[in-house]
Amino acid sequence: MNTFIENQNWRYATKKFDATKKINQKDLETLKEAMRLSTSSYGLQPYKIFIIENPEIRAKLQPVSWGQAQITEASHLFVFANIVDIQENHIDDYIDNIIRTRGLKIEDLKGYADFMKSKITTLDIGMKSVWTSKQTYLALANLMNAAAELKIDVTPMEGFEAEKYNEILQLNELGLNASLVATIGYRHEEDSTQHHIKVRKSNEELFTTIK
């Protein structure tokens, strides 16, 4: 069987982590690089990823995460925070990065920059926030796939109070919003859900080929 498919069959949404097991620095750097290399619309990566190790902060976040134990038991907690009101300066910073990385001139990218600004900055703030929050799911996918290869467990979560996260982590002051949460670590042997057979739609139900 293809290794990627084997990894997908191995992974599951871990309900109970082994709090005694911690991710080593080398593997953590690999996961960070997988997220850094993630695709995003235009390549903008309109978000920041917070790696929460502080146990006191995680204890504050648990009650506003529907009381889920993974928040405090997992080795690490990742919070994906999207830029709420993306502006021209965010695009300009990205263009500057392209110029430095590829050795281009600003005039080479003016048309591309103007196109992005015309499509993004004209949106209302609500639509901007929805669009940037969608980008965090792409980074999460890279994280989950890389972690499965390393046999590290990931539980993605939408079950949390974003406004409380924003308050506790002071994200509002940074123009950010907590979009997604992921707990990272190693499954506990007592977590019976790891033995459950995956339930997914059949190919016939899921796919339609249009010829």
The pLDDT tens digits for 141-170 are 999 999 999 999 999 999 999 999 999 999
- Asked if pLDDT for residue 68 goes beyond 70, the answer is yes
**Given this model, what pLDDT does residue 172 score?**
98
pLDDT at 1: 55
Compute the distance between CA of residue 180 and CA of residue 39 in angstroms, rounded to an integer.
17
Do the beta carbons of residue 128 and residue 44 sit within 8 Å? no
Does 145 fall in a domain? yes
Q: Is residue 93 part of a domain?
A: no
How many helices (H) and strands (E) are present in the chain, helices listed first? 9, 4
Write out the residue range of the structural domain in which residue 10 sits. 3-86+121-206
Structural domains of the chain, count: 1
Examine residue 115 and state whether it is found in any structural domain, yes or no.
no
Please report the pLDDT score of residue 2 as a whole number.
87
pTM over 0.85: yes
